[in-house]
Amino acid sequence: MFKDPICGMEVSESEATFKYEYKGKTYYFCSLYCKEEFEKEPERYIQRREENTSNEES
């Protein structure tokens, strides 16, 4: 399972309809809206996700 980087919803790789490859990594989305938002500013959402992940580990 992967987390949609926009809304945080759990997305199954095998069932994901919406996906986007960025800098060699594939991101999975629950909806077209989330995918389109990510495409506009991928670095913003990647950075936010990394910050959230490091906070969870603390």
pLDDT digit string (tens) for 2-57?
Answer: 999 999 999 999 989 999 999 999 999 999 999 999 999 999 998 876 666 555 55
Exposure string over 1-32, b if 16+ CB within 10 A, otherwise e: eebbbbeeeebeeeebebebeeeeeebbbbee
pLDDT recorded at residue 16: 92
User: Residue 4 carries which side chain, given as an amino acid letter?
Assistant: D
pLDDT recorded at residue 48: 76
Full-model pTM? 0.80
CA angle at 34 for the pair 43 and 24, rounded to the nearest 5°: 45
Beta-strand relationship, 18-22 and 2-3: unpaired
pLDDT recorded at residue 47: 85
Q: Per-domain residue ranges for the chain?
A: 2-57
